[in-house]
């Protein structure tokens, strides 16, 4: 598959067209941002680590019957994906209180939640990704009721699959963000699943193995991503 015109640059990935109009090429970069782009930096090796970690998760989910945009791993920093019309709703699933949930509800970070919490954020840099609900999604025309029902059910299925897999790797899945998009008549899981978009904690020590190390200037960011890849893939 030939890499063709550049299509779009996000905060950590570039998207290119290919010779198949239904397939895009995603290039994962080392750039890191936090706090809606206010903090910027580079994490050496992050692009290829996130590509390999996302490949691991997309293959796991596809094998369990979750439709995703993932097509093929094509190189250290590159994967092929199905083209998506992205739904502008960021779906956050939480199992343990951290980040904005801990702040919003005044909960201590690390409190295990009685069951998974699903939240929606409007994917809009200008508005700073505000928290929204089903009614907001409806009035803004972001997705239909049926689409949101499918998305919530699928997010909870994904949660069960990921928790079970990560448990065996001695990792807690604290929270994470998913994006979905439309491809022909289907809704597919898109974007990436990586330490940039998930919080992973070591089950025993609760050591943070994710982008919080960058957000909070904790150091050893690259080592944490390498450790996640090692636990997932053995490499």
Q: What angle do CA 61, 208, 110 make, to 5 degrees?
A: 90
Is residue 129 near ligand UDP by the rule CB under 6 A?
yes
101 vs 148, beta carbon nearer ligand UDP: 101
18 vs 213, beta carbon nearer ligand UDP: 213
CA distance 6 to 18: 9
Answer for which of 57, 70, 120, 176 binds ligand UDP (CB under 6 A) is 176
**Smallest gap from residue 82 Cβ to ligand UDP (A):** 21
Q: Structure tokens of 35?
A: 């706090």
Q: Which of residues 85-114 bind ligand UDP (CB under 6 A)?
A: 92, 98-101
18 vs 68, beta carbon nearer ligand UDP: 68
CA dihedral 118, 120, 123, 126 (to 10 degrees): -130
Number of shown-chain residues binding ligand UDP (CB under 6 A): 13
By C-alpha distance, which of 90, 91, 157, 171 is closest to 123? Answer: 90
Is residue 198 near ligand UDP by the rule CB under 6 A?
yes
Answer for which of 29, 69, 177, 229 binds ligand UDP (CB under 6 A) is 177
CA distance 109 to 98: 5
130 vs 219, beta carbon nearer ligand UDP: 130
Is residue 197 near ligand UDP by the rule CB under 6 A?
yes
Q: Structure tokens of 149?
A: 């029902």
By C-alpha distance, which of 209, 207, 201 is closest to 226? Answer: 209
Q: Where do contacts with ligand UDP occur on this chain (CB under 6 A)?
A: 92, 98-101, 129, 175-177, 197-199, 211
């Amino acid at each position: 598959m030939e890499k063709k015109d550049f299509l779009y640059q996000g905060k950590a990935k570039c998207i290119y067209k290919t010779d198949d109009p239904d397939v895009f090429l995603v290039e994962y970069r080392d750039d890191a941002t936090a706090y809606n782009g206010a903090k910027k930096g580079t994490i050496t090796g992050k692009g290829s680590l996130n590509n390999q970690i996302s490949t691991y998760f997309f293959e796991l989910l596809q094998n369990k019957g979750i439709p995703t945009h993932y097509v093929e791993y094509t190189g250290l920093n590159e994967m092929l994906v199905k083209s998506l019309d992205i739904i502008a709703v960021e779906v956050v699933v939480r199992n343990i209180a951290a980040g904005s949930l801990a702040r919003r509800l005044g909960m201590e970070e690390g409190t295990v939640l009685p069951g998974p919490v699903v939240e929606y954020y409007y994917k809009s840099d200008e508005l700073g990704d505000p928290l929204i609900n089903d009614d907001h999604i409806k009035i803004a025309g972001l997705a239909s009721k049926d689409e949101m029902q499918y998305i919530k059910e699928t997010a909870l299925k994904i949660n069960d699959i990921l928790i079970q897999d990560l448990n065996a790797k001695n990792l807690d899945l604290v929270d994470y963000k998913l994006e979905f998009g439309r491809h022909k008549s289907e809704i597919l899981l898109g974007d990436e699943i990586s330490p940039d978009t998930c919080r992973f904690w070591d089950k025993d020590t609760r050591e943070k193995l994710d982008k919080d190390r960058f957000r909070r200037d904790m150091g050893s960011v690259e080592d944490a991503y390498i450790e996640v890849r090692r636990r997932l893939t053995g490499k």
